């Protein structure tokens, strides 16, 4: 357990020069609202995500965790500061470059509405490849499908699938193009505990077995326990890190934050 | 509850804007048609009331029971009538004058006008009270000496005539040259509905028209104390049996109806096209409300959950519809006034415009325009409103599903209806029952529109096939997502394209039929005909042609009114000795052997109205008649319904003037040389035109094409509304799919790809509608051409290029319809879109 504030400047320079991180942010700042009612969603965030790791971002409502995820993924832009996916900085990218980045190098799993209702499960999973016009790696596709355990439901459309199945299809879609990093925004938030556990187990397996990098925002200590590291945010700042979390250790730590 | 509806309507102005435009355009068409026809009626009323204001009574010859004179509209009466009428104590003033026909020739030797409106010649009336013409300011004076002429201002303008010019006028008796001394207006109007008017001195008119000692009209002003009826009674007492007298009021009424009788057809035609536009608009309105209700399922369910009854939900939806309908219909009536102004200007530009003056806007136009707009909108919104009432309160708690399960379409029932319709068409065609055929066709068209949802998926899938990649996949899926919605959107275009294609096929088939029948029937090298239907080919012209050495055979056709077994008919006379060299009417007997017999049109025999061997009594206007035996029949329509030989015609006292001269050139004479020689011989008869058969085909084709253009232009309104419908459906569906589009953008669909996706959906929908419409149009065209085969529509021709053009236009219309919705979709902010509820 290390308080981020104590790392200070060295960390920042590490981030600027890192060659191993899957994604990084240096001094990220983002403010919502006008004078008087300003909310500092991100207030000088320095953070780096290792390749092949499953990181959970936690924090109370309004701590800036969703904004952090969106700005890292190129869905939103920072007011100031720098963001990299791998070696490429997002700041100079225009709309088209960001779209291509999302398409080719990033995967997403949202809390809800992850699938196009008119497309079958298979078409949804292959959507990023279809959009990019890339060939399907059939062996990898089969592996992913076998892992999520939905081989017999590929011809079904989303309304015919349960919520848990839909989220697993979404996770498969995020993995099938072998992105450098997958961002998940409360992926188990809408699921019952059984389905949630299945999904999170699958995500952890993707990290362990396939070396996938995953960054997940959650407010659920049980979900965070599936990750390798937990990053705590409060008031737009990184306030703490926790390695090899368990539900109990996360809960304990949250109590100290709240105190 | 009403307040909820109002607020909802106002909160969704954009959503309803395009619907409003669909209603507005339909109502504009309807009310514009009324304003236009009312305006023509009122303008002619005011013109003739003004012109005949001073006339209390008018004497004229009693019109023949049938037939007439090529020189004048009414038979002449003796000039002594003028003296007799003037002598009556009830008469303050009486003026006799002449009205006949004459063709004004411009400086280039070309006839002015005469292609539709009449070409009048008047004698100048000295009495200001009785003269309908006024010399316009600064434009000369009345004709006072022989050889002087005034013309109406519109003709002067068209032919670029000014006072002092020499002007030729061709009469039945020959061409005369005049000095133009003045330009006149007719009441307040510079023309009389396109008629050309040449006014000359009374003496010249009598001499040239061969009416010495006669007049065609005597207009009368009564003394102040006498009523028009009393005046007419006293005049009638001094008239010979060949003359009659009418009141000034009656004269005005006759003149007005003479110009406005054709309006009934025009009004019906315009309202017919307006009806198509309204019908297409109804599809758009229906579709919009269906989508809006679907999108508001949760909101409506919430109303139900908090205690609203199903009836109140219906009220909410219908009130919203009513709000839109009232506003759009009111604007539509206003737009209709502009539309009427536009048609008036267009008609004026081609020479058929009503007299100048303000538009006439009857209260009836407002009432009907509003009623049509409101009733059509409410009717179209009723089904969606009833659907809304069936939303269960529990739907408020459920998330709105992206795909609504479509109710199973009752496919078999609809196929059954189609089969019944098609069978009726077949039965009607085989047994020659037009009513059965028409009803069958209507049923079949409705069945096809009902079947459209079933066809949507396979057809759009095939049409969208060539669109590659994710864009193609998504566009195909989106088009097939709600087949009812897609087919309802496309149906508006289906109806428009079906009518356009039908019109094109009808026109092409008509042109083909004309061309093949003319080609077949006329081996003649040249055809001479008057360019003006009020003129004829005089024997002098016939002699001039016969004298040309390059001409081998001249055969004249004469035609005139007659009564056959007591029924009015036109009889054509041919020269039995020469006709067969230049004309092949498809007769079943040799024309040279007809002798005293009568030939009839084949359809009369086919219909069983006449049989070969019958004897029919043919009576001519001359009073002579003869019992003729039917000796055979002919197919070509140039001969009209009945034909006799020239000798029979002469025996019955028929006119020596011809309507057509068919010319075969002498052996060895080249076509151009022969034509030039004939034209030279006819130089003194400028109202006669020399044509080859291919010229005639071209002229007939041009006429059909003009109608095709006019009808297509009128149908364009319906097509435009249909395109609006596509834009509307897309715009609404994008709102519905906001989160989906956000997700697509998040996983890497570029803005350009989003635009391409939306555009593809529009194009696929439009092409689907147009394909279905083309098929319907071709089928309808075939049915109509087959049904009218006996009436001369002998060949069925599909203008393939035009049909393909309309498909291409539809695809382009899809691109245009998608422009704004696609832009909006591409500009959605990804994060906001994903968070959109």
pLDDT recorded at residue A2 = 43
Question: B479: which chain A residues are within 8 Å (Cβ-Cβ)?
Answer: none
Examine the pLDDT at B1 and tell me if it is beyond 70.
no
pLDDT at A90: 87
B41 is written with which tokens? Answer: 């009626």
Contact flag A113-B743 (C-beta cutoff 8 Å): yes
The confidence band for B15, taking pLDDT boundaries of 50, 70 and 90, is low
- Asked casually if ipTM beats, i.e. exceeds, 0.90, the reply is no
Greatest Cα-to-Cα distance within chain B, rounded to the nearest angstrom:
103
CB pair distance less than 8 Å for B469 and A96: no
Contact A194/B at CB under 8 A: no
- Dihedrals phi, psi of B283, to nearest 5 degrees: -60, -45
**Band of residue A258 on the pLDDT scale cut at 50, 70, 90:** low
Contact A70 B831 (CB under 8 A): yes
Q: What is the average pLDDT across B510-525?
A: 82
Contact A133 B745 (CB under 8 A): no
Residue B624 belongs to what H/E stretch? none
CB contact under 8 A, B481 and A110: no
Interchain proximity B473–A130, CB inside 8 Å:
yes
* Cβ B324 vs Cβ B519: under 8 Å: no
Residue B403 and residue A123: Cβ atoms within 8 Å? no
* Dist. CA B625–CA B629, nearest whole Å: 13
pLDDT digits (tens, 9 = 90+) for B593-643: 888 899 998 888 888 888 899 999 998 888 888 999 999 998 887 788 899
Task: With H, G, I as helix, E, B as strand and everything else as coil, classify residue B747.
Answer: coil
Q: Which residue of A has its CA nearest to B836?
A: A113
Question: Minimal Cα–Cα distance from A70 to chain B, Å?
Answer: 8
Please, what is the average pLDDT of chain B? Answer: 85
**Cα–Cα distance for residue pair B181/B144, rounded to 1 Å:** 9
C-alpha–C-alpha distance, residues A91 and A83, integer Å: 7
pLDDT for the residue numbered B791: 72
B283 pLDDT above the threshold of 70: yes
Instruction: Give the lowest-confidence range in A6-15, B317-326, B390-399.
Output: A6-15
Q: Is the Cβ pair A159, B469 closer than 8 Å? A: no
Burial (0-12, 13-18, 19+ Cβ within 10 Å), B758 = buried
Decide if pLDDT at B405 tops 50. no
pLDDT tens for each residue of A81-114? 999 998 888 888 888 888 888 888 999 888 887 8
Note whether B470 and B749 are within 8 A (CB). yes
Element (H, E) at B762: helix B751-787
> Torsions phi, psi of B560, nearest 5?
-170, 170
The total of other beta-carbon atoms located within 10 Å of residue B494's CB is 29
pLDDT 10s digits, B344-382: 887 777 666 666 778 888 899 999 999 999 999 999 889
Query: CA–CA distance from B419 to each of A241, B268, B772 (Å)?
Result: 75, 32, 17
* C-alpha triplet B90, B93, B99: angle, nearest 5°: 120
Binary contact (A118, B478; C-beta < 8 A):
yes
- Compare A15 and A122 and report the one with higher pLDDT: A122
Q: What's the gap in Å between the CA of B12 and the closest CA on chain A?
A: 25
Task: Identify which of A128, A214, A203 has the alpha carbon closest to the alpha carbon of residue A171.
Answer: A203
Contacts of residue B739 in chain A, CB cutoff 8 Å? 113
Asked whether residue B194 carries a pLDDT value surpassing 80, the answer given is no
Q: Choose between B507 and B654: higher pLDDT.
A: B507
Distance of CA B33 to the CA centre of its chain: 13
What value does the mean pLDDT take over residues B721-728? 88
Set of chain A residues whose Cβ sits within 8 Å of the Cβ of B747:
102-103, 108, 127-128, 131, 173
Residue B407, token pair as written in the block: 């109710």
pLDDT cut 90: percent of chain A above it: 20
Cα–Cα distance measured from residue B514 to residue B498, given in angstroms and rounded to the nearest whole number: 24
* Cβ pair A33, A39 in contact under 8 A: yes
Q: Give the sign of the dihedral formed by CA A113, CA A116, CA A121, CA A127.
A: negative
Residue among A127, A157, A173 minimizing CB distance to B470 = A127
pLDDT band at B10 (very low <50, low <70, confident <90, very high): low
If one counts every other C-beta atom within 10 angstroms of the C-beta of residue A56, the result is: 28
A132–chain B Cβ distance below 8 A for any pair: yes
Q: Are B40 and B115 in contact (CB under 8 A)?
A: no
- For position B807, what pLDDT does the model report? 94
Helix (H, G, I), strand (E, B) or coil at A21: strand
Which residues are CB-contacts of B475 (< 8 A; sequence separation ≥ 6)? B464, B467, B756, B757, B760, B761, B764
Over residues B209-233, the mean pLDDT reads 90
Contact call for A131 and B469, based on CB within 8 A: yes
Residue A132 has pLDDT above 90, yes or no: no
Angle of helix B483-521 relative to helix B800-826, nearest 10 degrees? 160
Compare B698 and B807 and report the one with higher pLDDT.
Answer: B807
> Quick one: DSSP state of residue B405?
P
Which helix or strand (DSSP H or E) is residue A186 part of? none
How many whole angstroms separate alpha carbon B100 and alpha carbon B209?
A: 7
How many helices (H) and strands (E) in chain A?
Answer: 9, 10
Residue-level length of chain A: 259
Matching residue, tokens 């009369």? B604
Q: And the tokens for A225?
A: 């326990």
For chains A and B, what is the number of CB pairs under 8 angstroms?
Answer: 78
Asked whether B431 and B446 are in contact (CB, 8 A), the reply is no
Please report the pLDDT score of residue A214 as a whole number. 94
Give whole-number Cα distances, B14 to B7, B186, B324, B836, in Å. 14, 52, 11, 18
In this prediction, residue B837 carries a pLDDT of: 60
Q: How confident is residue A259, by pLDDT bands cut at 50, 70 and 90? A: very low
When CB atoms are compared, the residue of A75, A157, A159 closest to B746 is A75
Chain A residues with CB-CB distance to B745 below 8 A: 99
- The DSSP-derived string for A196-242 is HHHHHHHHHHHHHHH---EEEE-S-HHHHTTSSEEEEEETTEEEEEE
Contact B59, B220 (CB under 8 A): yes
Residue of A nearest to B827 (CA): A95
Other beta carbons within 10 angstroms of residue B626's beta carbon come to 15
Shortest Cα distance from B300 to chain A (angstroms)? 22
Kindly report, residue by residue over B734-765, the tens digit of the pLDDT. Answer: 888 888 899 999 888 999 999 999 999 999 99
d(CA A22, CA B634): 93
pLDDT at residue B827 tops 70: yes
Residue B139 burial (CB count, 10 A): 17
pLDDT for the residue A253: 84
User: How large is the average pLDDT for residues A188-217?
Assistant: 89
**Shortest distance, CA B821 to any CA of chain A (angstroms):** 19
Please report the pLDDT score of residue B7 as a whole number.
66
Model pLDDT for residues B626-638, shown as the tens digit of each residue: 999 999 998 887 7
Maximum Cα interatomic distance, chain A, rounded to a whole number of Å: 56
pLDDT, greater one: B227 or A150: B227
Q: Are B286 and B383 in contact (CB under 8 A)?
A: yes
Return the residue in B398, B473, B747 with the most chain A beta carbons within 10 A, the one to mutate for interface testing.
B747
**pLDDT reading at A257 higher than 80:** no
Residues paired with residue B222 on neighbouring β-strands, in sequence order: B91
Residue B645 has pLDDT above 50, yes or no: yes
Q: How far is A40 from chain B (nearest CA, A)?
A: 18
The answer to whether residue A10 scores a pLDDT higher than 60 is no
pLDDT of B403 higher than 50 = no
The residue among A93, A113, A135, A179 with the most chain B CBs within 10 A of its CB, best to mutate, is: A113
Q: What is the average pLDDT across B789-814?
A: 89
Looking at chain A, which residue has its C-alpha nearest residue B481? A118
Q: What is the mean pLDDT of residues A125-146?
A: 88
Note the helical H segments in B788-829: 800-826
């Amino acid at each position: 357990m290390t308080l981020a504030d104590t790392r200070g400047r060295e960390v920042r320079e590490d981030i600027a020069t890192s060659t191993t991180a899957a994604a990084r942010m240096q001094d990220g700042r983002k403010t919502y609202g006008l004078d008087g009612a300003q909310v500092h969603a991100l207030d000088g965030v320095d953070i780096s995500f290792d390749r092949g790791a499953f990181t959970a971002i936690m924090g109370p409502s309004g701590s800036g965790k969703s904004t952090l995820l969106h700005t890292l993924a190129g869905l939103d832009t920072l007011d100031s500061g720098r963001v990299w996916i791998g070696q490429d900085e997002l700041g100079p990218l225009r709309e088209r470059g960001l779209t291509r980045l999302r398409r080719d190098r990033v995967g997403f799993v949202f809390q809800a509405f992850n699938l196009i209702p008119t497309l079958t499960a298979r078409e949804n999973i292959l959507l990023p490849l279809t959009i990019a016009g890339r060939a399907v790696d059939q062996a990898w596709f089969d592996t992913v499908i076998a892992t999520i355990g939905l081989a017999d439901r590929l011809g079904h459309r989303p309304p015919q699938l349960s919520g848990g199945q839909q989220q697993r299809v979404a996770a498969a879609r995020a993995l099938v193009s072998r992105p450098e990093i997958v961002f998940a925004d409360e992926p188990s938030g809408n699921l019952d505990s059984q389905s949630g556990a299945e999904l999170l187990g699958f995500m952890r397996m993707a990290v362990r077995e396939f070396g996938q990098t995953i960054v997940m925002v959650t407010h659920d200590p049980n979900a965070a326990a599936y990750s390798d590291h937990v990053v705590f945010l409060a008031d737009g700042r990184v306030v703490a890190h926790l390695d090899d979390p368990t539900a109990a250790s996360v809960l304990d730590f949250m109590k100290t934050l709240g105190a | 509850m009403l307040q909820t509806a109002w607020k909802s309507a106002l909160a969704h102005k954009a959503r309803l804007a395009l619907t409003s435009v669909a209603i507005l355009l339909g109502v504009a068409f309807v009310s514009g048609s009324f304003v236009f026809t009312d305006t023509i009626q009122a303008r002619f009323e005011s013109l003739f009331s003004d012109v005949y204001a001073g006339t209390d009574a008018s004497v004229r010859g009693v019109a023949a029971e049938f037939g007439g004179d090529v020189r004048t509209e009414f038979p002449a009466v003796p000039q002594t009538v003028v003296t007799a009428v003037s002598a009556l104590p009830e008469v303050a003033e009486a003026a006799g004058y002449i009205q006949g026909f004459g063709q004004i020739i411009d400086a280039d030797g070309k006839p002015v006008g005469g292609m539709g409106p009449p070409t009048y010649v008047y004698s100048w009336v000295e009495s200001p009270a009785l003269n309908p013409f006024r010399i316009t300011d600064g434009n000369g004076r009345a004709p006072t000496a022989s050889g002087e002429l005034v013309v109406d201002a519109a003709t002067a303008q068209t032919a670029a005539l000014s006072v002092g010019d020499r002007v030729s006028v061709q009469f039945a008796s020959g061409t005369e040259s005049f000095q133009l001394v003045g330009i006149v207006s007719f009441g307040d109007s510079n023309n009389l509905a396109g008629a050309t008017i040449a006014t000359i001195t009374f003496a010249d008119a009598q001499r040239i028209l061969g009416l010495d000692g006669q007049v065609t009209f005597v207009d009368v002003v009564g003394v102040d104390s006498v009523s028009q009826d009393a005046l007419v009674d006293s005049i009638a007492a001094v008239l010979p049996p060949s003359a009659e007298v009418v009141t000034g009021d009656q004269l005005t009424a006759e003149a007005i109806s003479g110009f406005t009788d054709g309006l009934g057809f025009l009004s019906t035609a315009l309202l017919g096209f307006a009806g198509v536009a309204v019908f297409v608009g109804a599809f758009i309105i229906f579709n919009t409300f269906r989508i809006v209700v679907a999108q508001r399922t949760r909101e409506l369910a919430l109303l139900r959950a908090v205690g609203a009854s199903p009836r109140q939900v219906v009220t909410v939806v219908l009130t919203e519809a009513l709000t839109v309908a009232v506003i759009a219909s009111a604007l539509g009536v206003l737009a209709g006034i502009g539309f009427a102004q536009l048609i008036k200007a267009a008609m004026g530009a081609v020479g058929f415009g009503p007299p100048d003056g303000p538009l006439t806007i009857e209260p009836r136009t407002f009432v009907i325009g509003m009623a049509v707009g409101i009733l059509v909108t409410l009717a179209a919104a009723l089904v969606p409103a009833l659907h809304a009432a069936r939303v269960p309160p529990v739907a408020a708690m459920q998330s709105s599903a992206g795909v609504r399960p479509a109710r199973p379409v009752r496919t078999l029932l609809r196929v059954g209806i189609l089969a019944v319709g098609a069978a009726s068409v077949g039965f009607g065609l085989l047994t020659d029952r037009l009513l059965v055929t028409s009803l069958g066709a209507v049923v079949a068209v409705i069945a096809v529109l009902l079947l459209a949802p079933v066809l949507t998926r396979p057809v759009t899938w095939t049409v969208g096939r060539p669109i590659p990649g994710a864009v193609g996949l998504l566009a195909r899926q989106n088009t097939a997502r709600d087949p009812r919605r897609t087919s309802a959107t496309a149906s508006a275009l289906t109806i428009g394209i079906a009518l356009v294609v039908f019109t094109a096929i009808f026109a092409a088939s008509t042109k083909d039929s004309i061309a093949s029948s003319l080609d077949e029937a006329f081996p003649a090298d040249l055809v001479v005909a008057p360019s003006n239907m009020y003129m004829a080919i005089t024997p002098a012209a016939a002699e001039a042609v016969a004298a040309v050495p390059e001409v081998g055979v001249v055969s004249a056709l004469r035609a005139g009114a007659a009564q056959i077994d007591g029924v009015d008919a036109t009889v054509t006379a041919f020269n039995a000795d020469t006709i067969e060299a230049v004309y092949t009417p498809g007769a079943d007997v040799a024309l040279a052997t007809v002798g005293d017999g009568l030939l009839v049109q084949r359809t009369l025999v086919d219909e069983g109205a006449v049989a070969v061997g019958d004897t029919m009594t043919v009576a001519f206007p001359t009073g002579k008649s003869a019992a003729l035996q039917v000796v055979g029949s002919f197919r070509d329509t140039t001969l009209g319904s009945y034909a006799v030989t020239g000798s029979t015609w002469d025996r019955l006292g028929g006119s020596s003037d011809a309507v057509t001269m068919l010319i075969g050139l002498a052996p060895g004479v080249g076509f151009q040389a022969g034509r030039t020689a004939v034209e030279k011989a006819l130089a003194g008869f400028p109202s006669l035109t020399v044509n080859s058969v291919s010229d005639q085909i071209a002229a007939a084709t041009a006429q059909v094409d003009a109608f095709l253009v006019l009808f297509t232009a009128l149908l364009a309104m319906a097509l435009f509304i249909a395109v609006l419908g596509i834009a509307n459906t897309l715009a609404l569906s994008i709102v519905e799919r906001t989160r989906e589009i956000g997700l697509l953008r998040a996983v890497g669909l570029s803005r350009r790809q989003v635009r391409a996706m939306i555009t593809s959906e529009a194009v696929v929908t439009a092409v689907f509608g147009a394909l279905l419409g083309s098929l319907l149009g071709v089928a309808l065209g075939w049915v109509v051409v087959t049904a009218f085969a006996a009436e001369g529509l002998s060949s069925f021709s599909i203008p393939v290029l035009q049909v393909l053009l309309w498909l291409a236009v539809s695809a382009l219309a899809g691109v245009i319809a998608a422009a704004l919705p696609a832009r909006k979709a591409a500009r959605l902010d990804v994060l906001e879109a994903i968070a959109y509820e």
